[in-house]
Amino acid sequence: MSKIGKQPIKILDDVKVEFDESKRLLTITGQKGTLTHTVSNDVVIEIKQEDKEIVLTPRKEGREFFAIWGTERALINNCIIGVSAGFEKRLIIEGIGYKAEIKGTTLVLNVGYSHPVDLEIPSDLTVTVDKTIISISGISKKSVGDFAALIRIQRKTNPYSMKGIRYEDERVVKKSGKKAA
């Protein structure tokens, strides 16, 4: 049994949920926007309007069905949180001469290469730059995480010099260099 899949999903007051059984499409609307999620055929979905909750159950028993059950529950819960509160990731740029700026719909990173790195900002995300902090926010947890990972991969933090791009809550352990014998 999936510990996560068994838990019902609470529907917040400002969120409207609709499920199209024929297309297996779940539409979630909130104050920040609308998200759609295609539910797997291996999961039965039941929306209880009086309790304001969604209950998922697997169609069959088995390890792979329980795994899909928990995953689907987590994805639907992320959609509900996204349309009501949204998601945000913050990145910190460290290094002499390292900086970021926004030009139109492009994020321009100067992170120690001979050329600036241009990244196109997806239309569903909001990106702000405050000196050395990049803030990415949006309603889709996947989109926010993917774009943050794309930015971070341009120059990961070097554990010796501590230069690079890292998440705000990421802890990088500084390594010592070579020691004379």
The answer to whether 73 touches 5, Cβ cutoff 8 Å, is yes
Distances (CA, A) of 78 to 83, 86, 100, 153, 175: 9, 9, 29, 24, 37
Edge-to-edge strand list for the sheet holding 133-138: 125-130, 133-138, 87-94, 164-167
As a whole number of angstroms, the distance between CA 106 and CA 35 comes to 24
List the chain pLDDT tens, one digit each, 181 residues. Answer: 778 888 989 998 899 999 888 888 999 999 999 999 998 887 787 777 678 888 888 888 888 888 888 898 999 999 999 999 999 999 999 999 999 999 999 999 999 999 999 999 999 999 999 989 999 999 999 999 999 999 999 999 999 999 999 999 999 999 988 887 6
Domains of the chain: 3-84 (3.90.930.12), 87-167 (3.90.930.12)
Specify the pLDDT at position 178: 84
